[in-house]
Structure 1
């Protein structure tokens, strides 16, 4: 059971990536019945460290000895020290942690520290898409997954750029404490409990929600009626436009077509139901507008690259499936 968590800092630490770890594991949410972790921030290079871009310093009384009792050690992104090397004591501590079955997690460029410790050899790993080529060059024995948000090669877990650290941290909470706890923490953070897909959606333009009023009311109606079959003509009538004008406005304001938008929302709803309910596949297919389990499976695999049953097993355990 995950109880003791330590974030280990290098000089030039990135404040957002550090903040992600502190937010997930460092806050007391016992008022909502959520687990409280024994959390500490430890330094690999002295008691006071500078940040990479924000121009302030971080002080901590904990050194590398704090890592010896941690169930999870997180290495946030920091200035790239490849030219000078990372502290040998830190690399030794990470290797000892893995040998005693503790987990280690990197956030964004923290993955280079794990690579320097030899923890990526023969393992799949994730990195920010801008760092993937460099990671593969420095550590040719690592299996770099370029399009995913995080990789769980227990006990070594790696996440891609910045916000993907949230995904990886919540994944660990979900794995250790279950989906209800992970979902509750995510709600407190006002973030989705999980994000499907990979980094490719962030390299190119994502599909944003509408920021305008022209089709905003129609989007709200569509979300509330995902189980119904609708046509562009019906949606255009609700927006008091011609079908051609509506389709053009919808594309301009959402970056996608009505069909692709509603398909995406249906898949998202199916994910929520697979995580939070014991409903059958046919029941979920009915509620999400796919009609039957075969159609649900087809669209789910097409969108996420996995089946609904496999997804349910991943997020709720084998017994749920």
Structure 2
């Protein structure tokens, strides 16, 4: 889709990224948006992919693509603090060798793992991401760190910073498969409240050391339900919540049902039938008799000869006609 320079894939990708720079002039272009927009283009038209990219950047990961990448740096410290709860061994190892989170998590978070995981796993992770928000990205990163550095045996080859980063870049493919990853992500006990609490702690530390954020990110929404709640909050409260009309929600399909005309509305001479005209007609369905039972241990003859005999007998019998009126 994106191999040909003159193909629609590269043209649509360029148009999406160019349109975003015009839409968000204060942020401009960020290289990490390319893989995210490319995944969207594989599943929807260019215009829909653009607006989906806007929602991801504004609601799901706000501030990730702004100048200075302050939101990414902040989430890197949040990830490192949460790692202590998930894997103490990996946490101590990274702290001992002074491996900054930005060295391994920047591509993970900014590209939403589209360049790290196999394609089937990427699709499952993105499904969970749209449903539950950025906490899925944190869980995936914690699972990868635990898989790579979570035991003393796995750290034998990691004697320094370079070896540790090489270990994280070359995770065995068997651990990246869809079935294994999704199970590990679901079992990880990291909630939205844990992430928000750690975000507040790291933000206080940031302000003490560096002052206020130059590009403070907006409010982060955790999944489709949170985004839909934001949309509902912006609608006029014209009726109680229990009587809310969901037909006006964006993306909700509309089904039109037409009732049959009443006797007064029928045209003169028109004959109205509620069932197909099948009376006085005969329908034939041909079928063969059920196959004989499989021979048991007490039967004589080999299995191959028994099967051949049964097949010849069945094919030689006449067809049975079932008549339906």
Tell me the TM-score range normalised by the shorter chain.
Answer: under 0.3
- Rg larger in 1 or in 2? 2
Q: Which has the higher helix share?
A: 2
TM-score (norm 1): 0.20
Q: Which has the higher strand share?
A: 1
TM-score (norm 2): 0.20
